[in-house]
A = this chain, B = another copy of it.
Amino acid sequence: MKIAIYGYGNLGKGVECAVNAAPDMELVGIYTRRNPESVQTHGTPVFSANDLEQGKCEADVLILCGGSATDLPEMTPALAKKYNVIDSFDTHAKIPEHFNNVDEAAKNSGHIALISAGWDPGMFSLNRLYASAILPKGTDYTFWGKGVSQGHSDAIRRIEGVLDARQYTVPVEDAIESVRRGENPQLTTRQKHTRECFVVAKEGADKAKIEEEIKTMPNYFADYDTTVHFISMEELKQNHAGLPHGGSVLRTGTTGWNDEHKHVIEYKLTLDSNPEFTASVITAYARALYKMHHRGVNGCVSVFDVAPADLSPLSAEELRAKML
């Protein structure tokens, strides 16, 4: 199957690598809004986004690697009119609206589209669904990290006097352990995660003021126990260049006529590279879209609608013999 990528940031670069590792996929091009000649890839030809809009791409599935804030709400419905598309839209509250827009565009043009692929939304969502269907009497918990939050890092960078910053979301280990023991704790925002910030200040900047601004920032930091470390640019580059992330989805529930038996289901990810893992999930779902479209499925779907077998390059017989 032929795959194309739109957007060549961290995610697009991860998809290029993941598609190259897939035995059954050919990467036909990377599309960009930048000058194509300025984009250096790992050997994939680069084309202008204008070509995409004019319908010149021959990919079976187009992987959209734009941002959720402004790119994807426009991009995914527009391109679903011309191509089978997949995105990693991650603004949870706006998923129903985005789904409806993409569904209308894809249905009217006979294409298939999948939104919100990745790990959250994505694999974490799947595990919430499986666990709640199996244990209807129970409670869900999601912990993120330890990992870099790009949104929180960006928020710190916007503070006056800050040159660069990296923010780690850290789950509270005692809280996770309490959930794992089946104690069913009621946890506040502060009890679930802490935030650790590594900040490079401009020369002469008021560090006390920066720290205060971070710790009191509404939504991002005010509800958390936040630690701020001022470090040099060299140290930031040396020790905080990666984009690790991960987390756990847990469901604890009971069975038995008197709820006498406790069960704990945990799905845990420990990722060295958030964008490359997200790209790997998207690439597997691109394979599923190709198969589903060949079976005549149109419109918008999510990971909830995809049978697991469609994600694998192996045949149904091989899967049953090797993995069931």
A interface residues (Cβ-Cβ under 8 A, vs B) = 14, 17-18, 21-23, 42, 92, 95-96, 99, 116, 121, 123, 125-130, 132-137, 180, 182, 255-257, 260-273, 276-277, 279-281, 284, 287, 302-309, 311-313, 316-317, 319-321, 323-324
Contacts and interface: CB of A to CB of B under 8 A. Distances in A.
A310 to B, nearest CB: 9
A68 B21 CA distance: 39
A269 B264 CA distance: 6
A306 B305 contact: no
Contact of A256 (B99, B276, B323): B276
A319 B21 CA distance: 32
Nearest to A321: B96
A255 B244 CA distance: 13
Contacts of A42: 257
Nearest to A98: B320
A113 B135 CA distance: 22
Given A312-B133, A323-B125, A255 B18 contact: yes
Number of copies: 2
A251 B130 CA distance: 19
Nearest to A269: B265
Contact of A134 (B125, B270, B284): B284
A170 to B, nearest CB: 18
A208 B134 CA distance: 44
B267 A266 contact: yes
Contacts of A125: 323-324
Given A22-B136, A129-B312, A268 B266 contact: yes
A92 B307 contact: no
A140 B125 CA distance: 22
A282 to B, nearest CB: 10
Nearest to A284: B133
A266 B92 CA distance: 24
B284 A21 contact: no
Contacts of A306: 307-308
Given A126-B130, A267-B267, 14 more contacts: A17-B255, A17-B256, A96-B320, A123-B130, A133-B287, A133-B308, A133-B311, A135-B280, A255-B277, A262-B272, A265-B268, A266-B266, A303-B308, A306-B307
A125 B314 CA distance: 14
A266 B306 CA distance: 21
13 contacts: A21-B136, A23-B136, A95-B324, A123-B130, A123-B134, A129-B323, A134-B280, A255-B277, A261-B273, A263-B271, A267-B268, A302-B320, A302-B324
B268 A272 contact: no
A321 B121 CA distance: 11
A269 B263 contact: yes
Most buried by B among A17, A22, A134, A268: A134
Most buried by B among A129, A271, A302, A320: A320
List 9 tightest A-B contacts by C-beta distance, closest first. A261-B272, A133-B311, A255-B276, A261-B273, A304-B309, A264-B270, A133-B284, A266-B268, A125-B324
